[in-house]
Structure 1
């Protein structure tokens, strides 16, 4: 069924009555009884709509990483693997109708400021991820269907980013004065932890505005400096915005083997394995399994040459031939064998450190060297893998990551930050890329789009994008918008892209 802004109203009412229905729901209710919504119930739904429903499971879990060139899938020619973005959806918008409903239920409660802060964060997160896909979107006039606004005008991407930054600033202030609130499956309602997330996320938003530092309305570098110098941000891996899994129904790791036929169809990309090998990076042995053929021919499980990555730009027929030979590396068994698996984060402490390293190279902040931030990011990323993987040869192939190894790695000549500013940024983004294997969905794609690093292979023979020698940079607007809000979406297309809704048009943040 096509989704319109009229449907958004109905969807909001449905979400209101079903706010407790999600994988990590802590509230059990009788499905045959009426449910009275509460602020905590709606908070749970809003948070899980960002986390649990974004992360997805089984084959769908792998799709963002196909686009990010770390995973291939062999059952069929997956669109994401061949750069087919297609049309996005505005279905992320309906859940935001529950923000106002949550605030109405929270009015007068002692935790009102915390719920208000959460509402601002959820709105900022949702609108940010939508504008990052297409450009201009309905923002200031969105969610007004109940008052007759069923065909909302579009805000420019600059206006959307201004609104997002303002909402995050307000969320920081409200969480600063807030108290613990109920209904939070991620941070247990701790406003101090949420405040760290809000500010770390705002740094990520600002870094995506790095081409707009001359814009006096945005004050990108001033905002960045102020957050780093005076607001709480992530201080360790424990602050990661993530879901932690367990061996319980509906709470198992997204690619766990139970009821998951997709586990036999994945391959690890050569973009990933080649970089890990070049850096003598032991995450190779934690991310992938060696080729069964190479092991049968006598190679040891810790021989890097036994790890065969597959070119993600290869035409599907050739990928199928490799799959038939079994001479390739699949993902590490831990992703399929461990029900609790590792947490999956949407934003991490390691990512923050890499952001600070890049900002230092760009001259936005001073006081700490870029190399210090860079090394801290690598340490955090490696400790995350080490701490969330059993010390079992089956999962590290006799190449365990230890504290001593991490220190030797960050100071090795292959890894040390060096060269020109652009070369250093390439190193920083590459390390972030290596850190987000099966983490932070779509981050690798957006970072490659933003910086060009690491370089992704493009094969005109397999690339669905037109022209075949270019990677796409945006999704298309939803068909439902063209059908039911045509005048406004066409005006947005005209002002941005001379009327062209195609995947190669540069949105405002990329210019």
Structure 2
């Protein structure tokens, strides 16, 4: 028992506090100078950390997000995610993986400082912010200011309030934007180790600012002066988009999207590439909600994302009554197992749809309809497809100036729902923030029909960091799936 406890403490320190680095399997041959200390070469950390993180996010999108958000429905007789059941053991995989990669991003930043590389300093900051945003949006209050200090002996970090975490995330994104203003691309040897933008500083800058846009919208139910310059989220949005757009360039087309485009060759392989085809396609069917919208719009993404069942595209009911397992219908095509675009982090359609919402709500000046239609059509062209000529006039797609704001918001978020296909937890995060798109609730749904608001903390954290865990619960609320995080109202 003592051995087990010592192992648990060591694991807690490694996963949460930054005492280990991530696995670099498959990346050894990419190190550019075997005679130089890898601890001071920031580029050796980027590809392994990014690749591991995106693979983990895709795995959880498949397992959790796509069920909660009615992309697919598991066909077995247990309480699954589509019934709004999340077991406590689900927390460990994300918590451990995200904190492990945060260690690498922090080491990358420190190494970049040592070698005087502002571009890599900025890249490290953007990756760190992205990862911490996933953590806090999933769990709420988490270790932040004292996290990643295991090497210094801090094995029981305090949990920071979510609003304080966001305040510092915005500071870090400002730092990254400033560092990238010089537009210094990485050298050729370094660029080959950047699987996202191949060393292009401007694309990294646009990604960072687009992440800034996403996170400002994430906290936009609040009006606190949380952004740098003592600005509210709404004021900072106006500053970025209307007042100083040249200072905050955003992703401007599909080619600039932040996507880990899997090549199919190790180490850049989709996590699903090694799955058995039966495991990928046989245990679930696509949901009625997911299928029916695409079919109604004659959306060309449908055959990319679903198979025919009996000559038609057909989904099953999400949240069906236990014991009444539906017959198999459309499933994921096996081709998605190696699809490069499933490695999405943040794409151009999302940016346009975020701007559409901000314009509709009056937080920025701009044409909400134009942003919306650009986002909707680029959600299709991103996949190398052509929107039907009738797409923007299809039911539930056509933008009517006289429609209520709630209707327009649902249109925006329905298109964003599809733009976020397999994008970590973003569909779920946005649903928790807005209640859109409106999802049908099946008769077998548990949890009083209430969408989970967060995931509980890992059980081992509750025991190994008990005092700080209890303080977090006292501040945030009960450690269960129905306690709302700070940005949820």
The TM-score, its normalising length taken from structure 1, stands at: 0.82
Distance of 1:420 and 1:446 partners within structure 2: 24
* Contact 1:46-1:98 within 8 A present in 2 as well: yes
Contact 1:68 1:443 in 2 (8 A): no
Is 1:445 matched up with 2:444? no
Residues 161-203 of structure 1 deviation map (CA, whole Å, 9 limit, x = unaligned)? 1011111111111122252232311111211110000000110
Alignment partners' CA distance in 2, 1:487 and 1:415: 51
Q: Which residue of 1 aligns with 2:3?
A: none
Q: Could you tell me how far apart the structure 2 residues matched to 1:97 and 1:213 are?
A: 32
Deviation at 1:226, TM superposition (A): 2.1
Contact 2:18 2:99 in 1 (8 A): no
Check conservation: 2:82, 2:445, Cα contact below 8 A: no
Indicate conservation of the 8 Å contact 1:162/1:218, yes or no.
no
Identify the range of structure 1 (258-267 vs 194-203) with the bigger mean alpha-carbon deviation: 258-267
Shift in alpha-carbon separation, 1:10–1:416, aligned structure 2, 3 A: closer
CA distance in 2 between counterparts of 1:494 and 1:456 reads 32
Secondary structure class of the residue paired with 2:73: strand
State the 1:232 CA deviation.
0.8
Structure 1 residue 353 and structure 2 residue 358: aligned? no
In structure 2, the residue corresponding to 1:72 is in which secondary structure? strand
- 1:318 to 2:329 alignment: no
User: Per the alignment, do residues 26 and 211 of structure 1 end up closer, same or farther by CA in structure 2, a change over 3 Å counting?
Assistant: farther
Deviation at 1:214, TM superposition (A): 5.1
Inter-partner Cα distance in structure 1 for 2:291 and 2:28: 37
* Residue deviations 1:412-460 (CA, integer Å, cap 9, x gap): 46422231112111110011112333x3122221121111112233346
Q: Deviations over 1:242-287 (max 9, x none)?
A: 1212343554444458743312223111111122234343433332
Deviates more, 1:271-280 or 1:425-434: 271-280
- Displacement of 1:340 after TM fit? 5.0
Find the aligned partners of 1:102 and 1:80 in 2 and give their Cα distance. 36
Kindly indicate whether the alpha-carbon contact (under 8 Å) linking 1:51 and 1:242 is maintained by their aligned counterparts in 2: no
Q: Please tell me whether the aligned partners of residues 86 and 455 of structure 2 are also in contact (alpha carbons under 8 angstroms).
A: yes
Deviation string 1:370-401 (CA, Å, 9 cap, x unpaired) is 0100000011111022x1xxxxxxxxxxxxx5
Counterpart of 1:27 in structure 2 is: 30
Check the 8 A contact 2:21/2:104 in 1, yes or no: yes
Counterpart contact for 1:85–1:474, Cα < 8 Å: no
SS at match of 1:245: coil
CA RMSD of aligned residues (A): 3.0
Question: Is residue 269 of structure 1 aligned with residue 302 of structure 2?
Answer: no
Deviations 1:107-160 (A, max 9, x none): 4535x1112112211221121111111211111121222333221122111101
- 1:124 maps to 129
Per-residue CA deviation, residues 327-379 of structure 1 (Å, 9 max, x unaligned), is x112245325xx4554531211000110000000010111x310100000011
Q: CA deviation at 1:212?
A: 0.9
1:96 matched to 2:138? The reply is no
Equivalent residues in 2 for 1:392-471 (5 A)? 401-402=385-386, 405=388, 407-412=389-394, 414-418=396-400, 419-437=403-421, 439-459=422-442, 461-463=444-446, 465=447, 468-471=448-451
Q: Distance in 2 between matches of 1:10 and 1:132?
A: 17
Match of 1:81 in 2: 82
Q: Distance between the aligned counterparts of 2:29 and 2:196, measured in 1? A: 11
Runs of 5+ unmatched residues, structure 2: 1-6
User: 2:364 aligns to what?
Assistant: 365
The farther-off stretch of 119-128 and 59-68 is: 59-68
Structure 1: runs of 5+ lacking an equivalent: 296-305, 388-400
Of residues 486-495 and 96-105 in structure 1, the stretch that sits farther from structure 2 once superposed is 96-105
Deviation at 1:314, TM superposition (A): 1.0
> Conserved in 2, the CA contact under 8 Å of 1:291 and 1:307?
yes
Residue of structure 1 equivalent to 2:179: 174
Q: Deviations over 1:40-63 (max 9, x none)?
A: 11122332243233224xx97454
1:289 counterpart residue number: 307
Task: Confirm whether residue 240 of structure 1 aligns to residue 257 of structure 2.
Answer: yes
| Residue 164 (structure 1) aligns with | 169
Give CA-to-partner distance per residue, 1:275-333, whole Å, 9 cap, x none. Answer: 223434343333222213xx3xxxxxxxxxx22110111135323x513xxxx112245
Deviates more, 1:62-71 or 1:354-363: 62-71
* Matching residue within 192, 195, 198 for 1:188: 198
Q: Evaluate the alpha carbon distance shift between residue 68 and residue 6 of structure 1 in structure 2; reply closer, same or farther with a 3 A threshold.
A: closer
CA distance in 2, matches of 1:436, 1:100: 27
Counterpart-to-counterpart distance in 2, 1:25 and 1:384? 32
CA contact (8 A) 2:287 2:315 kept: yes
Q: Return the TM-score normalized by structure 2.
A: 0.85
Contact preservation (8 Å) 1:61, 1:255: no
Counterpart Cα distance in 2 of 1:6 and 1:331: 36
**Structure 1 residues 118 and 376, CA, compared in 2 at 3 Å: closer, same or farther?**
same
Q: Deviations over 1:72-121 (max 9, x none)?
A: 233674743332333423312133233343344334535x1112112211
Matched, 1:207 2:190: no
Residues 1:126 and 1:402: Cα distance change in structure 2 (over 3 Å): closer
Partner of 1:491: 471
Native 8 Å contact 1:64 1:442 kept in 2:
yes
Tell me the equivalent position of 1:46: 49
Aligned residues: 462
